[in-house]
């Protein structure tokens, strides 16, 4: 291992890339890592980073050695949520919440997602210049998940405010800012919890057919108990895991079409390729670039000794550009034969629960936009910045488009 590699802390490197390089382009660095140190140890932080497809796959698929309980503090909203749990509790919760994302439930929501998409497109009508993230890619998943959770439109404004505060970051790192931010966040979390508790109580009395909370409440009635203490964290997790990621998927896709208009033209002449474009976008500009696990017990991994308690960061974004799996990985290829082999949704037992919903929303969004807009002019400002309120996100803060 070279001296220079040893001092690189991958997460610091990633955040530096985010701050210093306007284009936030981690891909050349990933390539170097895949070639030189696909399994990299950081002495200073006593943690590992994993960059190759094969190794990332091994990590996500080996729940016995790589734990998801990565030390989220008890008071943090994700502490009682399945994404930070291991079996057997994870298995039990997952088997119940799976019901909210079955193909039947997705099918039932499809017409409403079309309507919401068309309402957002109608609002852009007549405008020549829009911030696509603010007007379309941002609101779409938030409105969809709010309706899926059974939130009435009258409460939507409050709901959006709470989600915004909870998933924000402090303006700067000064003690005063951090204090103000923490206070606002705790208040919003408490209010959101109370709000969800009211919905849960209401759905126990008047359950609906396809909204998520009714599905969970009904599971309670047939004996497979998901106690109330897990329902609110689950709802919070849906907001945390589902909104920004889906916004990034739709935003990154449109960014890529603006960058390479020939892709947009191909889709226009053959709309059946939209689902290919969604998969390729997930691979090419993965909304979640890096996740982590903790070593559960000592093991030998690709010739290295991994010790219990060490953190392991795995770079999905690097795995998805691995030339040993994807031919010409730096090219956005609509006809890639192994297009669904990407790991943008993770893998193993924590494979993204919301993947069918994210795919459905992105397919509907892109198909509807294609019908409406015959071509794009290049955006006025063209920036690919990381979204600041997420440590691992890869997406746009804003994307100004000129519409024809």
Give the binding site for ligand HEM (CB under 6 A).
Answer: 60, 68, 82-83, 94, 145, 237-238, 241-242, 245-246, 249, 287-288, 291, 316, 344-346, 350, 352-354, 357-358
Q: Around Cβ 54, how many Cβ atoms within 10 Å?
A: 13
Q: What are the tokens at 328?
A: 């010409």
Closest separation in Å from C-beta 172 to ligand HEM:
29
How far is C-alpha 263 from the geometric centre of its chain's CA atoms?
A: 24
Closest separation in Å from C-beta 288 to ligand HEM:
4
Closest separation in Å from C-beta 352 to ligand HEM:
3
Give 137 or 238: the residue with its C-beta nearer to ligand HEM: 238
Give 10 or 354: the residue with its C-beta nearer to ligand HEM: 354
Question: Is the CB of residue 114 less than 8 Å from the CB of residue 79?
Answer: no
Distance in angstroms (rounded) separating the CA atoms of residues 356 and 152 = 24
Give 231 or 238: the residue with its C-beta nearer to ligand HEM: 238
Give 242 or 379: the residue with its C-beta nearer to ligand HEM: 242
Distance in angstroms (rounded) separating the CA atoms of residues 370 and 216 = 36
Distance in angstroms (rounded) separating the CA atoms of residues 271 and 263 = 11
Concatenate the DSSP letters of all residues of 370-391 into one string.
HHH-S-EEPPSS------TT-S
Closest separation in Å from C-beta 60 to ligand HEM:
6
Closest separation in Å from C-beta 314 to ligand HEM:
9
Q: Closest Cα partner for 395 from 243, 249, 279?
A: 249
Q: Determine the 3-state secondary structure of 261 from DSSP.
A: helix
User: Which residues lie below 8 Å from residue 266, measured CB to CB, with a gap of 6+?
Assistant: 273, 334
Give 38 or 354: the residue with its C-beta nearer to ligand HEM: 354
Closest separation in Å from C-beta 358 to ligand HEM:
4
Give 355 or 402: the residue with its C-beta nearer to ligand HEM: 355
Give 8 or 313: the residue with its C-beta nearer to ligand HEM: 313
Which residue lies nearest ligand HEM, judged by its C-beta?
Answer: 354
User: Which residues lie below 8 Å from residue 227, measured CB to CB, with a gap of 6+?
Assistant: 220
Closest separation in Å from C-beta 257 to ligand HEM:
17
Number of residues in the chain: 404
């Amino acid at each position: 291992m070279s001296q220079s590699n040893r001092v690189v802390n991958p997460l610091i490197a990633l955040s530096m890339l985010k701050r210093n390089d306007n284009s936030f382009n981690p891909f050349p660095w990933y390539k170097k890592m895949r070639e030189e140190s696909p399994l990299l140890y950081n002495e200073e932080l006593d943690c590992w980073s994993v960059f190759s497809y094969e190794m990332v796959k091994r990590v996500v698929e080996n729940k016995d050695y790589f734990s998801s309980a990565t030390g989220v503090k008890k008071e943090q909203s994700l502490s009682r949520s399945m994404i930070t749990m291991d079996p057997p509790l994870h298995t039990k919760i997952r088997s119940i919440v799976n019901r909210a994302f079955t193909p039947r439930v997705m099918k039932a929501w499809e017409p409403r997602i079309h309507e919401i998409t068309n309402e957002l497109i109608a609002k852009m009508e007549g405008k020549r210049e829009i911030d696509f993230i603010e007007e379309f890619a941002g609101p779409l998943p938030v409105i969809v998940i709010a309706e899926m959770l059974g939130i009435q439109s009258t409460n939507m404004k409050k709901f959006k405010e709470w989600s915004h505060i909870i998933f924000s970051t402090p303006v700067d790192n000064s003690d005063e800012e951090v204090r103000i931010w923490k206070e606002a966040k705790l208040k919003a979390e408490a209010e959101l919890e109370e709000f969800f508790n009211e919905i849960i109580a209401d759905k126990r009395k008047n359950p609906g057919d396809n909204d998520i909370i009714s599905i969970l409440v009904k599971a309670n009635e047939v004996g497979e108990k998901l106690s109330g203490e897990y329902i609110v964290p689950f709802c919070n997790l849906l907001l945390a895991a589902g909104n920004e990621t889906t916004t990034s998927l739709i935003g990154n896709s449109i960014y890529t079409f603006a960058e390479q208009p020939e892709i947009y033209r191909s889709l226009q002449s053959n709309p059946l390729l939209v689902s290919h474009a969604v998969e390729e976008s997930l691979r090419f500009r993965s909304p979640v670039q890096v996740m982590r696990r903790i070593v559960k017990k000592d093991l030998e991994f690709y010739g290295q000794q991994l010790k219990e308690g060490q953190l392991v960061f795995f770079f999905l974004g690097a795995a998805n550009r691995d030339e040993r799996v994807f031919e010409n990985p730096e090219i956005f290829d609509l006809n890639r034969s192994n297009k669904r082999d990407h790991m943008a949704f993770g893998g193993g037992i924590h494979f993204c629960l919301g993947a069918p919903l994210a795919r459905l929303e992105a397919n509907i969004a892109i198909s509807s936009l294609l019908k409406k807009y015959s071509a794009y002019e290049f955006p006025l400002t063209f920036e690919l910045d990381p979204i600041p309120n997420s440590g691992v996100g890869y997406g746009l803060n804003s994307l100004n488009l000129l519409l024809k």
